[in-house]
């Protein structure tokens, strides 16, 4: 893995720096905030420690090891996460390589009372096949636009959700009257 990506292991800031009011840097503690592709904002911190860049792969490094999401924006990551950043601007290739390592990562999920986890050295040492750069470039040329479309769809969903959440209470209370609308 270390041939294609830089790995940043998360480190949680002090608890008294967390807030839900959006003050400071967006902060993700672990996989609890993971969505389909992007994590859901819940907490911020005024004292970020370790950061992920927008579009970095975010991976759960504590039970269960290997769940994946993508950083929608620059964010602080807690000790339950690692940020995986392409060394040469092939972020889609890195993301799908990580998805493909799921079975190998499952080995780090302990059985019984053992708490599954993985460290930076084990992640860096994960064996992968690295194809020639022209193959990675061709992959990136095809897949990166698809990832961009997923991001654009996510942004549109968030926008529509915000509109719904602001209009629905006003409609239900009668503050907005739509009786005259011709639909």
Neighbours of 21 (CB within 10 A): 7
Q: Measure the CA angle with vertex 59, ends 104 and 2; round to 5°.
A: 65
Q: What is the pLDDT of residue 111?
A: 59
Query: For the chain, which residues score pLDDT lower than 50?
Result: none
Distance of alpha carbon 143 from alpha carbon 55, whole angstroms:
14
**How deeply is 81 buried, as exposed, middle or buried, from its count of CB atoms within 10 A (0-12, 13-18, 19+)?**
buried
Q: Residue 62: name the closest of 125, 1, 115, 2 by CA.
A: 115
Q: Is the pTM of this model over 0.85?
A: yes
Cα Rg of the chain, angstroms: 20
Beta-strand pair 43-45/25-28: antiparallel
What sign does the CA torsion over 156, 162, 165, 166 have?
A: negative
Structure tokens at 15: 């608890």
Predicted confidence at residue 181, as pLDDT, reads 84
């Amino acid at each position: 893995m270390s041939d294609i990506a830089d790995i940043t292991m998360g480190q949680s800031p002090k608890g008294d720096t967390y807030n839900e009011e959006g003050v400071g840097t967006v902060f993700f503690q672990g996989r609890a905030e993971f969505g389909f592709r992007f994590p859901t904002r819940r907490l911020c911190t005024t004292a970020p420690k370790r950061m992920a860049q927008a579009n970095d792969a975010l991976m759960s490094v504590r039970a269960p090891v290997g769940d994946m999401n993508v950083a929608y924006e620059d964010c602080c990551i807690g000790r339950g996460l690692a940020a995986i950043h392409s060394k040469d601007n092939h972020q889609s290739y890195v993301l799908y390589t990580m998805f493909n390592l799921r079975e190998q990562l499952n080995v780090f999920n302990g059985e019984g009372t053992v708490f599954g986890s993985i460290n930076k050295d084990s992640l860096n040492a994960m064996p992968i096949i690295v194809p020639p750069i022209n193959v990675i470039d061709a992959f990136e040329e095809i897949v990166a636009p698809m990832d961009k479309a997923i991001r654009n769809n996510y942004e549109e969903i968030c926008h529509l959700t915000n509109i719904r959440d602001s209009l629905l209470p006003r409609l239900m209370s009668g503050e907005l009257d739509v009786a005259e609308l011709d639909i």
